[in-house]
Chain A
Amino acid sequence: MNFLERTLEGFLNAMEHALSAEALAKAPGLLQRIDPRVKVAGILTLIVAAAAAHRLWVIAAVFGIALLLGVASRVSPLLLAKRVWIPVLLFTGVIVLPAPLVVPGRAIARLPGLGWPLSAQGLASAEYLVARVMTAATLSVLMIVSTPWTRVMKALRVLRVPMVVVVILGMAYRYIFLLLESSRDMLESRRSRMVGALKGSDQRRIAAASAGVLIAKTLQLSGDVYSAMLARGFAGEVAMLEDFHAAARDWLALAGFASVAAAAFYFGL
Chain B
Amino acid sequence: MGCVGIPSSKSPTRWGGRWLGYNETLYVPQWIQKSWQKADMHIPDGYLSPTTCAILYGSAAPFWYSSLQRLKKRLTARLVPLLAVMAALSFVIMMFNLPLPGGTTGHAVGVGIATILLGPWASILAISIALGIQAVFFGDGGLTTLGANCFNMAIVGSLVAYAVYRLAAGRAALTSPRRVVAAALAGYVAINASALCAAVEFGIQPMFFKDASGAPLYAPYPLKIAVPAMMIGHLTFAGLAELVLSAGVVAYFQRTNPVLLRQTASANLAAGPGAASGESVWHALRPLWVALALLMVLTPLGILAAGTAWGEWNAGDFATAQGREMMATASQHAAPPAAPPRGLERLSTLWTAPFPQYAPSFVRHPALGYALSAMFGSGAILLVSFAAGSLVRRARGKNHELS
Contacts and interface: CB of A to CB of B under 8 A. Distances in A.
Q: Do A and B come from one complex?
A: yes
Interface of A: 2-4, 6-7, 9-11, 13-14, 17-18, 21, 44, 47-48, 50-52, 54-55, 82-84, 86-88, 90-92, 94-96, 99, 102-103, 105, 120-122, 124-126, 128-129, 131-133, 135-137, 140-141, 144, 149, 152, 164-165, 167-173, 175-176, 178-180, 183, 200, 203-205, 207-212, 214-216, 218-219, 221-222, 225-226, 229-230, 234-236, 238
B248 A235 contact: no
A179 B89 contact: yes
Contacts of B247: 208
A164 B96 CA distance: 28
B173 interface: no
Contact of A208 (B44, B216, B248): B248
B137 A7 contact: no
B46 A129 contact: yes
A6 B97 contact: yes
A49 B34 CA distance: 29
A115 B81 CA distance: 61
A129 B35 CA distance: 17
A9 to B, nearest CB: 8
Among A4, A152, A169, max chain B CB count under 10 A is at A169
B190 to A, nearest CB: 17
Contacts of A167: 80, 84
B80 A94 contact: no
B92 A180 contact: yes
A180 B90 CA distance: 11
A149 B137 contact: yes
Contacts of B87: 168-169, 172
B244 interface: yes
B139 A83 contact: yes
B260 to A, nearest CB: 7
B319 to A, nearest CB: 30
A223 B83 CA distance: 11
B84 A209 contact: no
A221 B49 contact: no
Contacts of A99: 220-221
A141 B32 contact: no
Instruction: Give chain A's interface secondary structure class.
Output: helix
Contacts of A13: 34
Contact of A218 (B85, B97, B218, B257): B85
Among A7, A44, A51, A135, max chain B CB count under 10 A is at A51
Given A88-B44, A219-B117, 6 more contacts: A3-B97, A21-B137, A102-B221, A121-B216, A136-B46, A222-B82
Nearest to B18: A94
Given A90-B36, A140-B143, A236-B76, A7 B96 contact: yes
B253 interface: yes
B86 interface: yes
A121 B214 contact: yes
Contacts of A3: 97-99, 105
Contacts of A10: 34, 95, 97
B133 A173 contact: yes
Interface in B360-392: none
A62 to B, nearest CB: 12
A173 B89 CA distance: 10
A125 B50 contact: no
Among A6, A18, A140, A165, max chain B CB count under 10 A is at A6
